[in-house]
Amino acid sequence: MPEGKIVKALSGFYYVLHNDKLIQCRGRGIFRKNKITPLVGDEVVFQAENDLEGYILEVKERKNELVRPPIANVDQAILVFSAVEPDFSTVLLDRFLVLVEFNHIEPLICITKMDLTNEAQKQVISEFAEQYRKAGYEVILTSSETEMGIELLNPHVENKISVFAGQSGVGKSSLLNVLRPDLELKTNDISTHLGRGKHTTRHVELIQIGQGLIADTPGFSSLEFTNIEAEELTFCFPEIQRASENCKFRGCLHVTEPKCAVKSGVESGEIPEYRYQHYLDFLQEIKDRKPRY
C-alpha cells in the first residue's frame, strides 16, 4: 500500500502528497469509530484508484500534535514577531516559547519589519535578540521589504515541517511570499483601530518551500497553559532550567525557596529580569487555574 503525508485538510477531504502528486482522500469510517481524526502533517497509508478517489487506511504514529492549529509531526515553530507595528512584545513571545517548548517543538525566533526601525529601536531589538540567543534560542532579524535575513532563514526551513506562529499583523504572510514569491498570499495593512492584521488564514495547509513544508496558520489561537503543571514550567525556560540544576532543593519553584540558583542568576544578570518575571507570572497563572475534573 502506498504511503504519503497529509498536506491539506478541507471540507472532509484530505490531500495526501505522494511522489510529488496530490491525492484527494477521504477518511475511513473506522477513524470516526475509534475517534481518530487525521491531521495535516500525518504520515498515512492510503489506497487510491485515481487522484480524486482515495481512502486513508492508517494514520502512522505521531511524534507530536497541536490542537490549535490542528497539525501533527511538527519539527519547528517559527515564531514571527515584528520589531514595530505592532511593537515587539517579550511577554507574548515568552508565552509562545513556553507552549512550543512544552510540546517538544524546536523554536526559531524571527523578528520582522527591521526596515521600519529607527536607530534606537534597532539597538533595543538587537539587545533582546542577544539575550534570547544567550538563553539558547536561534534568533533571525528579517525584513520582507529589503529581504534582510532571508538567506539565514532558508536553511532552517529545509527538510522540516514548520509552523509559522505569531500575533496578527506581524508579517507572516509577507515573509512566506518572500520565501516563495509565486504564492501571492493576501496580506492587509494593520487596522490602526484594532492594532492587528485583518488577514486571517482559514484552514491549515502545508506549503512547499524548497525541500521543506511550512504551515501558514492563524498560529496558536489558544495561549492558555491548560496542560502545563507548575513543576513543568522550569523546563520551558532553558536558562532557568540550566540554573535550577544548582538549586539546593529538588523541585525548587524559584519563588521563595532558600539557596535558589535561579534567583542568584537573576541577581547576577545571568538571567534577564523580565524573563524571570514572566516565569513568575506564568507560574501564578498555572497555580490559579481552576482544577479540571
pLDDT digits (tens, 9 = 90+) for 66-102: 877 789 999 999 999 999 999 999 999 999 999 999 9
**Other CB atoms within 10 A of residue 222 CB:** 10
Cβ contact 93:109 at 8 Å: yes
Task: Report which secondary-structure segment, H or E, holds 57.
Answer: strand 54-59
SS3 label, residue 54: strand
Under a CB-based contact definition with an 8 Å cutoff, are residues 130 and 96 in contact? no
| CB of 282 closer than 8 Å to CB of 253 | no
Residue 198 has pLDDT above 50, yes or no: no
Q: What is the pTM of this model?
A: 0.87
Query: What are the CB-based long-range contacts (under 8 Å, 24+) for 269-274?
Result: 270/239, 270/243, 271/239, 271/240, 271/243, 272/131, 272/135, 274/90, 274/91
Compute the distance between CA of residue 143 and CA of residue 178 in angstroms, rounded to an integer.
Answer: 9
Tens-place pLDDT, residues 10-62: 888 999 999 989 999 999 877 877 888 899 999 999 999 898 889 999 999 99
Q: State the residue for C-alpha cell 522550569.
A: 234
pLDDT (0 to 100) of residue 284: 97
The Cα 132–Cα 110 span in angstroms is 11
